[in-house]
Amino acid sequence: MVNLKALEVWFVTGSQSLYGEETLRQVAEHSKTIAGSLNDATQIPVKVIYKPTVKSTEEIYSICMEANTSKNCIGIIAWMHTFSPAKMWISGLKILQKPLCHLHTQFNRDIPWNDIDMDFMNLNQSAHGDREFGFMVSRMRMNRKVVVGHWQDPEVLVELNTWTRAAAGWNDWQGAKFVRFGDNMRFVAVTDGDKVEAEYKFGYAVNTHGIGDLVEVIDQTSDAAIDLLISEYEEQYTLVPSLKKGGAQYSSLRDAAKIEIGMRAFLEEGDYKGFTDTFEDLHGMTQLPGIASQRLMASGYGFAGEGDWKTAALVRAMKVMGSGLEGGNSFMEDYTYHFDPSNPMVLGSHMLEICPSIAVGKPSCQIHPLGIGGKADPVRLVFNAAAGPAINASLIDMGNRFRLLVNEVEAVAPMHDLPKLPVARVLWKPYPDMKTGCAAWILAGGAHHTGYSQNLTAENMQDFAEMANIEFALIGKNTNLYQFKNELRWNEVYYQINK
């Protein structure tokens, strides 16, 4: 996966020359201490780099310019220890292309009741210095995250963690390439969309390869490479007897391994961060990639079925955001409902392709017929997913804008074995409740395909949407349908005006 520690956020403190050398020396010292402490905090997954205090229009412009062109800088944390007249920030903020977090903090946590004097007041002005800065960012209608509290406060560290992870996901999209093997599933609406607008808005490119290009690479796979991968399957999964060496369907397992090796080679060769395929376009392939897509997702590739490039890209970003955290992220689909009024829930799954990063226990490697696609039986990993809080996220193209929709859910342990269900599965309860959650999702036009996450929160996704400057809609514990419908209507007007 992605090593987040290779990425940097820059800690930039604003001030002005007016205060004189001694005060500015202390400002710099305090800033170094805070940046160092954030850098060392285990809660923050990226490096936090101290930058010299900026005191003029020119210095601010330069640091923003530098941040834009720095490959490793994924965002700026700004703090005004003293007063930093905000007209000085206009030209810099105007060109800033990296995400911005405004840390509204103060060097000392408490007021030193007995010692406080005008020198202290002169130095510790963030309570009003940060307001001047905040005004300018609002005046310029810029999205940013505002984090309030003492820099050692664990809650502040959690919020900074959330934002830096979103910034890492956003950074990963810039210049990213996604490949589609075949086009969209025919006639399907929600998985389609404007790829030109997506590249302009999100920074990633989506291009298609005919399935023949992939088949050519798959066919170059050596028997030795297949043997090696099969021994990995044997080690990591419980193989059903028919897939074991000498079993009736062992050759299907070899076909599946061959597909995985070929796809991996194709993705590496093209420097792709994710892919889609579709069961309607498998010309020259023996089976729909099942275990291949599952394992490629587990390696960090974004994936979605049926040509759904928006969800594939979203799954990739979510994997980057969740990098290093317990739990996983997967492509998901709301499949079937349990409408028992005393215990309603959703069964999430797909034809085959759920990522084993969300599995509880050792997945079982199985083979079953697939009713659609007209190909040989595909090999897949079957497992249950862990219980606990999770989210479903869907990125949809509303025609005049993209909307990121998130539903907070609670995954529950399966009450039954589901012995005849030949796919990986998750059971969850949507918040605020089944009826409201599902109605709100449908009213918002949310897709049946989602990115499902065990380790990200709605706040990660909101920060991410703000970096992308797109609409964000949340269905969570406090959602009420009346309010939610109004929010969607009001957003409609907002996005017509704010183009």
Interaction site with Mn ion (CB under 5 A)? 305-306, 333
Token output for 368: 């079953």
Is 59 or 333 the residue whose CB approaches Mn ion more closely?
A: 333
The per-residue b/e assignment along 276-293, b for 16 or more CB within 10 angstroms, e otherwise, is bbbbbbbeebbbbbbbbb
Q: How many CA within 13 A on the CB side of residue 495?
A: 17
Min dist. Cβ of residue 279 to Mn ion (A) = 9
> From CA 390, how far away is CA 44, in angstroms rounded?
21
Residue 333 beta carbon to Mn ion: minimum distance, rounded to whole angstroms: 5
Minimum separation from the CB atom of position 191 to Mn ion (A): 8
Amino acid symbol at 167: A
The minimum distance between CB 351 and Mn ion, in angstroms, equals 7
| Per-residue DSSP letter, 241 | G
Locate 189 and state its tokens.
């609406």
Query: Which bin fits 85, alpha (ψ -120 to 50), beta or left (φ > 0)?
Result: beta
Is the CB of 154 or the CB of 374 nearer to Mn ion?
374
The nearer residue to Mn ion, 305 or 356, going by C-beta atoms, is 305
Cα–Cα distance measured from residue 254 to residue 275, given in angstroms and rounded to the nearest whole number: 22
Helix (H) or strand (E) holding 414: none
Contact 280, 186 (CB under 8 A): yes
DSSP letter string, 418-464: -TT--S-EEEEEESS-HHHHHHHHHHTT--SEEEEESS--HHHHHHH
Compare residues 308 and 377 and give the one whose CB is closer to Mn ion.
308
> By three-state DSSP, how is residue 101 classified?
strand
With respect to Mn ion, which residue has the nearer C-beta, 333 or 463?
Answer: 333
Min separation Cβ 188 and Mn ion, Å? 9
Rounded to whole angstroms, how far apart are CA atoms 354 and 340?
A: 25
- Rama region for 166: left / alpha / beta (φ>0; ψ in -120 to 50; rest): alpha
Q: Which is nearer to Mn ion, 320 or 352 (CB)?
A: 352
Cα atoms in the 13 Å half-sphere on the side-chain side of 285: 34
Contacts for 194 with CB less than 8 Å, ≥ 6 apart: 397
Q: Which is nearer to Mn ion, 54 or 346 (CB)?
A: 346
Angle at 303 between CA 373 and CA 258, to 5 degrees: 60
Torsion, CA 98, CA 103, CA 107, CA 108, rounded to 10:
-170
**Residue 298 backbone dihedrals phi, psi, to 5 degrees:** -65, -25
Residue 406: Cβ within 10 Å count: 29
- Closer to Mn ion by CB, 350 or 403: give it: 350
Q: Considering beta carbons, is residue 145 or 350 the nearer one to Mn ion?
A: 350
Instruction: Tell the smallest beta-carbon distance from residue 352 to Mn ion (Å).
Output: 10
CB of 59 to Mn ion, least distance (A): 52
How is residue 286 written in tokens?
């023996």
**Cis bond before residue 289 (omega within 30° of 0):** no
Specify the residue, 277 or 306, whose C-beta has the smaller distance to Mn ion: 306
Q: Least distance (Å) from Mn ion to the CB of residue 363?
A: 20
Minimum distance of Mn ion from residue 353's CB (angstroms):
9
Give min distance, CB of 311 to Mn ion, in A: 9
- Return the closest-CA partner of residue 13 out of 92, 118, 84: 84
Q: In this chain, which residue has its C-beta nearest to Mn ion?
A: 305
Radius of gyration (C-alpha) of the chain in whole angstroms: 25
Q: Which is nearer to Mn ion, 308 or 463 (CB)?
A: 308
The smaller minimum CB distance to Mn ion, of residues 334 and 466, is found at 334
User: What is the nearest approach in angstroms of Mn ion to the Cβ of residue 471?
Assistant: 23
Between 306 and 471, name the residue whose CB sits nearer to Mn ion: 306
Q: What does DSSP say about strands 329-338 and 73-80: parallel, antiparallel, or unpaired? A: unpaired
CB of 350 to Mn ion, least distance (A): 6
91 token code pair: 């030209």
Closest distance to Mn ion from the beta carbon of 305 (Å) = 4
